[in-house]
Structure 1
């Protein structure tokens, strides 16, 4: 017991004095330093040891790439219904159609207003009657004018000759004679005055020879004197009239006759031009009436066609649907409810009903152009109905549109096999087409994280292979991608290790 106590005391003393002793004693310091160096050499490899990069090897996997496309079932025999009137742009509904009604060929689909078009037909018939009467009247007048035209032409030429003859006669005969007659009248008055004056002078000479003048002789002289005075006055009037005739009346009459002649001549010339023009005008009026009649007959024919159109009947037996189907997608009834109610208005040539015979079906899909190179006619697939997603129908791609139906969208038609005894899907039902665009059961694959692209050429792919000093690049040719793995077509063999991550340097 005492030995133990002494040993413990010695240890306590040595631990207290030890540090100072080591600090003053080089030997102890070197010893301690060697022990320290040995410890550090043991720990150094752990700090400098590099972590080994993770690697993987190509694995064979079954790659199957499946394309899913949304579409709609469609009745390929669907018949859209529209009212294709020619003169009736708006049509009023009197009896709305029944959605989902089964119709037979020839059944009336809906009731449309007939009253306005009937009134229009009555007006057209009335206009036709009036035009026909005008045609008959004008036709008779035209025939008469055509028959009278040669006679009127001859009469015109004859009248024109008469006018010319009258004018020439006036200048050559009547005007000179009138001047001569005026002069003869003046001479007659002068002769009368001379005769009266001579008679008075003779009486005066005879009575002056007598010494006595009887009362009777005075009366005779006075009467003779009065005759002379009257003859002078009448001569004076004749002179005035003669001057007026030659200086005023004759020039005026010449001007009037010449003007009348020129007017008649101009009238004759104008009539000569107008007469054939009037005949031509009547012919044109007849052509116009014929054209108007033709137009009215065309309108009548179109109205008769429109009246038949306003009694729309089913062109085929089937189910009556409101709206239309575009690439299998149904328009629905909402947009047509205001139009197909009673007193609603339908536009001409507007498709508003569809008859579905419902004897066959197909699927229509709007195919994005990015998938255009992945599908082809004859490719097999499966169609999943939205109502029965577990039941898969056999399908075959039958037609791909050669030109887009919308920017970047092509029309795809798919034939579907419906199991015997099963009802056809209703047109407009949504579905999904699934086709396998690529499949390789023994594909050599790597994780997509182990395949890298060149910065300058993203299409150039490569992997890193582990090396003694540093990893090295290896160019590879990749194929399809499936999930997190990429198909390797060329560049590495099975079993070759590749880095799973890009090295830091």
Structure 2
């Protein structure tokens, strides 16, 4: 084994250390490369599948095309269970027919009420007037006349009885003067006695009738006529108050039915609109993707979980995308702030796919947003020149490399060789006597671990590094 002495090794280590800590200032190409991941997406003309119902709350999938499948024009992409909505539409149409009939009936009833109400009021007014007249006439005239008639009839019966009794007395007296009463005379006396008995009975009956008439019938009739006058007046007053209200209620009912009909028509229109959403068909030949492609992103996310039989996509949110076969593809990237600042439109570069690095796709930066997205990224769009018969699937990612800055004759140093102090940026320059001196420099762009020096150094100088 060959061993070196310590005196030999120490100068060697010092020489290597001195060489590693010195950099000769020279001009050389200085470039800044920005690399980032971009996603292949269709340029335009994509159709987002989205449920925008006006009233129907739930859509359950019964048929759905597989993700990524090529479809032809008119092919069903998604179909939902329409049984319940078709029943609802049928029920609504029947309800509409019923509403039309109800409105016609309500209009007829209102018209009839408006026509008959005046006649009914006139009849009630006449009845009230007649009831009042009857009661007034009875109170002022007929009751007294009826009382007098009853008394007069009673007196007449009394007079008849008195006459019959007087006649019997005279006959008895006359026949008593004869010694012999003939059979004819006996018959006449018997007949007269019967007449007296009849008159007595008639008087008793007339007395009863007179008493009842004066004490019961006439007072009762007086009460009945008074009540009739009162009730007729109440009925008239009630009808005069209720009739206008009844007409207004009929009008309100009719208006309610019309409003209900209008709303039912709107509901039917909404349901028919929603029914059209139960079948999504391909508008042309193309590809079907689960999940929306919008705003530069393909976002299957949670929406793709519902894209299965019996699944229920959320309304008013895109859940799938149709990509026409004629759609061209490009790249979209979302950059961090530093990368976005370093890039500007018209810069060109290349894109490569993992596993296909031998295929380099020329790309050109078309737009770079200067407004950050809510997540802090900046959108960048890139046009691509695709090789013949090369058609990457939408949603695949590639690595993009773009030279954002290039200076073919620049002076650059490792960033670690620079120090920042009160006088700005400085570097340690090695002097001829072996000593070092701090020199102020003006820095330019930074590329990874190197910094461009714009002024303060000359070619050939030696810069010390830590």
2:212 aligned with 1:243:
no
2:86 is aligned with 1:121: yes
Equivalent position SS for 1:90: coil
* Segment drifting more, 131-140 vs 394-403: 131-140
The 5 A counterparts of 1:149-168 are 151-168=115-132
5+ residue gaps in structure 1? Answer: 1-51
CA contact (8 A) 1:479 1:486 kept: yes
Report the 3-state secondary structure (helix = DSSP H, G, I; strand = E; otherwise coil) of the residue aligned with 1:73.
strand
Give the structure 2 partner of residue 477 of structure 1: 442
1:135 partnered with 2:100: yes
**Is 1:409 aligned with 2:380?**
no
Max radius of gyration: which structure?
1
> In structure 1, what is the equivalent of residue 319 of structure 2?
351
Residues 333 and 357 of structure 1, relative CA distance in 2, 3 Å threshold = farther
CA distance in 2 between counterparts of 1:344 and 1:222 reads 112
What is aligned with 1:90?
A: 59
Structure 2 match to 1:444? 411
Aligned residues: 433
8 A contact 2:288–2:322 mirrored in 1: yes
1:298 aligns with 2:298: no
Equivalent-residue separation in structure 2 for 1:56 and 1:301 (angstroms): 80
Which residue of structure 1 aligns with residue 258 of structure 2?
287
**Contact conserved, 2:59 with 2:81, CA < 8 A, in 1?**
no
Residue 202 of structure 1 deviates from its aligned partner by 5.9
Between Structure 1 and Structure 2, the one with more strand by share is 2
The answer to whether the 8 Å contact 1:121/1:303 transfers is no
Q: TM-score, normalised by structure 1?
A: 0.68
Is the contact made by 2:42 and 2:323 (CA closer than 8 Å) also made in structure 1? no
Deviations 1:28-83 (A, max 9, x none): xxxxxxxxxxxxxxxxxxxxxxxx9x877644443211111111222324634536
Q: Normalised by the size of structure 2, how large is the TM-score? A: 0.73
Q: What is aligned with 1:263?
A: 234
Cα distance in structure 2, aligned partners of 1:141 and 1:318:
57
Say whether the 8 Å CA contact 1:76–1:361 is kept in structure 2.
yes
**SS, match of residue 389 in structure 1:** strand
- State the secondary structure of the residue aligned to 1:407: coil
Offset from partner CA, 1:414-433 (integer Å, 9 cap, x none) = 011224x3523333332111
Per the TM alignment, residue 315 of structure 1 is displaced from its structure 2 partner at its CA by 1.8
Query: Which residue in 2 is equivalent to 1:231?
Result: 203
The equivalent residue for 1:10 is none
Q: What is the alpha-carbon root mean square deviation over aligned residues?
A: 4.6
Alpha-carbon distance between aligned partners in 2 of 1:292 and 1:111, rounded to the nearest angstrom: 30
Q: Does residue 1:180 correspond to 2:144, yes or no? A: yes
CA distance in 1, matches of 2:66, 2:400: 33
Partner Cα separation in structure 1 for residue 399 and residue 97 of structure 2: 66
8 Å Cα contact 1:328/1:427 also seen in 2: no
Is the 1:71–1:431 Cα contact (8 Å) retained in structure 2? Answer: yes
CA contact (8 A) 2:96 2:265 kept: no
Q: 1:486 and 1:130, CA in 2 relative to 1: closer, same or farther beyond 3 A?
A: closer
